[in-house]
Amino acid sequence: MDQIYLDYAATTPVDPRVLDAMMPFFSTSFGNPSSVHRYGQQAEAAIESARETIAIALNCRADEIIFTSCGSESDNLALRGAALAVRAKTDANRILTSKVEHHAVSKTAEQLEKYFGFEVKWLEVDEYGMVQPQTVEQALDDKTALVSVMYANNEIGTINPIREIAAVCHRHGVLFHTDAVQAAAYLPVDVQSLGIDMLSLGGHKFHGPKGVGGLYVRKGTPLVPSQTGGGQENNLRAGTQNVPYIVGFAEALRLTVEEREKRFAHVKPLRDRVIGSVLETIPDSRLTGHMETRLPNHASFAFKNVDGNLLLTLLDVAGFACSSGSACKTGNPEPSEVMAAIGLAREWGLGSLRITLGVGTTAEQIGSFVKTLPSVVEQARELSK
Amino acid sequence: MTKVVVAMSGGVDSSVAAALLQQQGYEVIGMMLRLWSEPGKEESNRCCTPDAMGLARRVASKLDIPFYVVDAKDVFRKTVVEYFLEGYARGETPNPCLICNRSIRWEFLLNHALALGADFMATGHYVRKQGVDGKQQLLRALDHAKDQSYVLHVLNQDKLKHALFPVGDYVKPEIRKIAESFGLPTASRHDSQDLCFLAGDDYRNFLRRNAAEMLKPGNIVRRDGEVVGEHNGLANYTIGQRKGLAVLSSVPLYVLGKDVAANTVIVGMQEELGSLELITYDVNWISGERPGESFRAEVKIRYTAKEAEALVMPLENGQVKVHFDAPQRDVTAGQAAVFYQDDVLLGGGIIQ
């Protein structure tokens, strides 16, 4: 495929070094970590060593890490698990979360409201999609069981002041969870310095494999499992651990932390070029999300009177793999909740485009992209008339 | 490489169309339209259910071609569904598939295909085209039983220039065999004439939900004005209909016509049904030129009707008068009359 990949926020290729680390655990060291024999011991040693690696990256204890199948599962476990456990202890039945969360959080919150008797308060965001600590402060009360605010937004890249939000929550004695799935590739995930109680990660956003994730849970945080069964993962996540993927996940996070500055320095100037060029050359275009406080590899735009899905089609045919927050593969364009939450009118909200860069992105690719985009937007605008 | 967009449905015909064109050396792109459905019925729109989309996606992946879905909900509702409702309001039995082919498939989607840099657009229609003296002719499919040229009589030279119909040269069993040889899904939706946006429901229910005001009760009358019953809205009746009339009569009565001004359904005996003549408006000539003289042709008055011998007389005002050799049953306003000489489709128009 002669395509230029500009969708690193959707997923990333597995780093060859990560793949190498994973391979032995498919075949030679294939044991079940719960088994008594040597095979089992080998597998158990591998996942415990992976847990150590993750703990170092997050600046936490190894027994505070739960391995899951993906970022979404981590969010499910954090919300459902903590909400149920806290309510059992204190009767608090309110969940605070923002209007721009990933569906893994928002749909879980909706389910807790509809089927489990919780009450969800949806926190407003500003025009950049940012949750202000005082908004959280005002919404908190003694019935609040849990607050969940994402670290960085997948659609518009805005980074939330989660350290401040965590501090506000703790002043009120309320648990704070953050979905760091999108943020972890480029932002520090030191849970001590950030003061986080629970933090979700997904392996494939930073060159690990798909199908594996993790949840940091501060020691002493009330939590019940959302998947019950065997006693794996400290009785909090039943099911035989996916040993090779857990090994790959840890190695990928280790490399990410080690190379973070280098990767940051690689993508940011290229990303800045995309933003500058698009706003300069394309009429009726605007940046969505915050201008500075955003992920360094993330550029997102809205184009007035453009069908975002059609724009993606035209770009793909032109050789650029991008994404949009407002449409999915079914060609059924409805503006996303995020576009509505930041106050974009429908004629803007339908025409969103997300460009996310990665270590594989080159200056030539970006040059060719910014040269092509204006005419493609124009074409989409004509066809959308 | 010559680029072609194939309008895919997930069914065997368009899947084979894509495979054949790829084999012939074209660069193939798959596209599918998302059409309008009544709110809540999106899962059952015959043309674009999630199932059909999934199937088309799998075919595209099997052939290793790109596949995109294009949203046409708004334009479909504004053109096709409006046409459908307006037709019934005029007392006609409209054929929205004609408008879909003219305005959605062969305009909206074709424009998208051309914008993607395609030279051609192909569909899985059973129909053929051939170039003669620099002009494009539209021909009946080799498989006459499967022929779909009737709904494509709305095409013009500009559109035909970009059109490819790869399955029109085959009979259906061959298409199934080809599908098998390519490892493609061989299921075909039953050739239902139900309209996609009715989602399997009766059109009368659709009208009740979407245009209840046009369903005004009135009288059912004989030609001489004798009232023989009551109707519950003109749109509920079509020419030739016998069942569901609720009239008291010792002999079977058939719907002969509708009088919109008087809001009456006119009924009569079976032998009164036939018409020797009809007039069509909104006429399209495939060649782009109106014939100067009358000509003999085979004329088809419904998608499923058998062709009838007739004299076709182009009128000065652009309309066309058709005089059949023998009276035809079920000549229905709103349906198309399409003119053929041998396999060549010359044109057609909407019956007045």
Instruction: Give per-residue pLDDT as tens, B111-121.
Output: 999 999 999 99
Q: Which residue has the tokens 């999300």?
A: A289
Q: Establish if B70 touches chain A: CB-CB under 8 angstroms.
A: yes
Model confidence pLDDT, tens digit, residues A286-329: 999 999 999 999 999 999 999 999 999 999 999 999 998 654 55
Residue range A4-11+260-384 in CATH 3.90.1150.10: yes
The C-alpha atoms of residue B81 and residue B102 are separated, in whole angstroms, by 14
- Does B190 have pLDDT greater than 80? no
Q: Are strands A298-303 and A285-287 parallel, antiparallel or unpaired?
A: antiparallel
- Does B167 have pLDDT greater than 80? yes
Cβ contact (<8 Å) for B117 and A317? yes
Write the DSSP assignment of A75-95 as a string of letters: HHHHHHHHHHHHHHHH---EE
Chain B residues near residue A306 by CB distance under 8 angstroms: none
Q: Which residue has the tokens 């996940």?
A: A249
Residue range A16-256 in CATH 3.40.50.880: no
Nearest partner of A168 among A145, A121, A135, A193, judged by Cα: A135
Write the DSSP assignment of A272-303 as a string of letters: HHHHHHHHHHSTTEEE-S-SSSB-TTEEEEEE
Query: Domains plus CATH for chain B?
Result: 3-198 (3.40.50.620), 216-272 (2.30.30.280), 275-351 (2.40.30.10)
Query: What integer pLDDT is reported at residue B50 of this predicted model?
Result: 79
Q: Report the run of H or E that residue B192 belongs to, with start and end.
A: none
- Does A277 have pLDDT greater than 60? yes
Please list the active-site residues of A: 328
Cβ–Cβ < 8 Å for B36, B77: yes
Cβ–Cβ < 8 Å for A186, A154: no
Cβ contact (<8 Å) for A310 and B70? yes
- Does A282 have pLDDT greater than 70? yes
Reported pTM? 0.87
- Does B41 have pLDDT greater than 90? no
The SS3 assignment for A258 reads helix
Pairs of CB atoms within 8 A across A/B:
40
Which of A68-72, A155-159, A249-253, B39-43 bottoms out in mean pLDDT, i.e. has the lowest? B39-43
Domain boundaries, chain A: 4-11+260-384, 16-256
Tell me the two tokens of residue B204.
């009368």
Instruction: Give the single-character DSSP code of A271.
Output: H
Cβ contact (<8 Å) for A316 and B50? no
Q: Report the run of H or E that residue A136 belongs to, with start and end.
A: helix A133-139
Q: Establish if A311 touches chain B: CB-CB under 8 angstroms.
A: no
- The ipTM, to two decimals, is 0.81
- Does B192 have pLDDT greater than 60? no
Cβ–Cβ < 8 Å for B153, B162: no
Chain A residues near residue B76 by CB distance under 8 angstroms: none
Q: Establish if A1 touches chain B: CB-CB under 8 angstroms.
A: no
State the distance between the two ends of chain A, measured CA to CA, in whole angstroms: 32
Cβ contact (<8 Å) for A317 and B70? no
